[in-house]
């Protein structure tokens, strides 16, 4: 892939919830993320951080402006194509993990391969899951269910799931919000490592310590980017 093409290019993007009441969650946001950039998004509660992340993750469509993901204009793509891109090129990490409770760690990773356009045999998928679990230090717990794991371990499994399809863009919404400082440090170290391995990373956070680890900080207030750099 051409390193000159930015992973993310937002031009004049806005998102207004039709309501009622009408909420302008984002307006006129311009944002460029280079490949392998590590960016923290900060801002008060309700400022539009998650909304921005949903747009970057192709979960929501902007109501205005254009969005190019790795050079592809995704604002106007049909939903089926956006779903395929989402599965292939984007990894999500959530504050509340969103692991399937009744599945083991390795099964949770396999869910990420269910909808891929290119089919891979089950044995290869399991091998890939084991490899990724090893990378996040969870290989020994691959048959544990989420209820049997600590918060930090769950988040590491969730990060492993996000890395299953080797995405272009890793989006983390408050990844340490539910963790104590020891576990948070482990998870942040893991995210650093993912970044060093070449991934583009966006982390939403309230925590200045977390924000400090990123190469660049973006501040959002009332739906507008107020500080970028």
Partner 1 sequence: MNRSRISARDLVDECVAALVVRPGRTCLTALGVVLGIGTFVSVVGLAATASGQIGERFDVLAATTVLASDGREDLGERFPIPPDADARARSLNGVRAAGSLWTVRQPGLGLEGAPTTDQPVTLDLMAVSAGAWEALQPRVVEGRTYDEVADAAGLHVAVLGSSAAVRLGISTLETRPAITIDDVPFTVVGVVDDVVRSPEVLLAVSIPRGTAEAIWGQPQPNAAATEVVSTDPGAATQVADELPYALSPEAPGSLRVTPPPDPRTLRDSVAGDLNTLFVVLALVCLLVGAVGIANTTLVAVLERTSEIGLRRALGATPHQVATQVMVESATLGGLGGLVGTSVGVVVVVTVSTVREWTAVMSPLLTFGAPGVGVLIGTLAGLYPALRAARIEPSQALRQ
Ligand X SMILES: Nc1ncnc2c1ncn2[C@@H]1O[C@H](COP(=O)(O)OP(=O)(O)OP(=O)(O)O)[C@@H](O)[C@H]1O
Options 7, 9, 35, 94; binder of partner 1; rule CB under 8 A: 94
Considering the complex, state which of residue 51 and residue 75 has its C-beta at the smaller distance from ligand X.
51
From residue 134 to residue 173, the character string flagging contacts with partner 1 as x (rule: CB under 8 A) and all else as - is ---------------------------x------------
How near is the Cβ of 94 to partner 1 at its closest, in Å?
A: 6
- Coil, strand or helix: which one is 44? coil
- Shortest distance (Å) from residue 56 CB to ligand X: 12
Per-residue binder mask for ligand X (CB under 6 A), 23-52, x = binder: x-x-----------------x-xxxxxxx-
Which residue, 15, 33, 7, 20, is CA-closest to 228?
A: 33
Q: Is the dihedral of CA 135, 97, 68, 83 positive or negative?
A: positive
CA angle 193, 83, 211 (to 5 degrees): 30
Rounded to a whole number of angstroms, the minimum distance from the CB of residue 210 to partner 1 is 20
* Site membership for ligand X, residue 205 (CB under 6 A): no
Q: Return the residues of window 100-129 that contact partner 1 according to CB under 8 A.
A: 100, 102-103, 107, 111-112, 114-119
Cis peptide bond upstream of 152, omega within 30: no
User: Reduced to 3 states, what is the DSSP secondary structure of residue 67?
Assistant: strand
Does position 14 bind ligand X by CB under 6 A?
no
Q: Residue 50 interacts with Mg ion (CB under 5 A)?
A: yes
Residue 92: contacted member of partner 1, ligand X, Mg ion, none (CB under 5 to 8 Å, by partner type): partner 1
Nearer to ligand X, 37 or 173 (CB): 173
The answer to whether residues 42 and 18 touch, using CB atoms and an 8 Å cutoff, is no
φ, ψ of residue 88 to 5 degrees: the values are -85, -40
- By the rule CB under 5 A, 199 interacts with Mg ion: no
What is the DSSP secondary-structure string of 152-219? HHHHHHHHHHHHTT--SEEEEESTTTTS-HHHHHHHHHHHHHHHHTT-EEEEE-S-HHHHHHSSEEEE
When the beta carbons of 111 and 209 are compared against partner 1, the nearer one is: 111
By CB under 5 A, tell whether 54 contacts Mg ion: no
Q: Choose among 58, 47, 53: nearest CA to 24.
A: 47
Nearest approach, Cβ of residue 218 and ligand X (Å): 12
Phi-psi region of 34 (alpha: psi -120 to 50; beta: other; left: phi over 0): beta
Positions that interact with ligand X (CB under 6 A): 17, 19, 23, 25, 43, 45-51
């Amino acid at each position: 892939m051409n390193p000159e093409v930015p992973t993310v290019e937002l031009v004049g993007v806005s998102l207004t919830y039709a309501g009622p009441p009408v909420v302008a969650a984002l307006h006129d946001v311009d944002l460029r993320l280079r490949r392998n950039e590590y960016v923290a998004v900060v801002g008060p509660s309700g400022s539009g951080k998650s909304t921005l992340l949903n747009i970057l993750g192709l979960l929501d469509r902007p109501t205005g402006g254009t969005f190019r993901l790795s050079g592809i204009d995704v604002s106007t793509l049909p939903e089926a194509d956006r779903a395929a891109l989402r599965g292939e090129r984007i990894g999500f990490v959530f504050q509340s993990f969103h692991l399937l409770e009744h599945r083991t760690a390795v099964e949770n990773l396999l869910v990420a391969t269910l909808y891929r356009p290119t089919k891979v045999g089950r044995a290869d998928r399991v091998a890939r899951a084991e490899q990724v679990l090893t990378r996040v230090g969870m290989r020994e717990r691959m048959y544990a269910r989420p209820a049997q794991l600590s918060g930090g371990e769950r988040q590491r499994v969730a990060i492993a799931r996000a890395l299953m399809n080797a995405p272009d863009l890793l989006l983390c919404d408050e990844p340490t919000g539910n963790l104590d400082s020891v576990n948070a440090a482990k998870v942040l170290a893991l995210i650093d490592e993912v970044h060093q391995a070449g991934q583009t990373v966006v982390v939403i956070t309230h925590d200045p310590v977390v924000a400090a680890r990123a190469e660049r900080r973006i501040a959002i207030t009332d739906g507008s980017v107020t500080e970028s750099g």
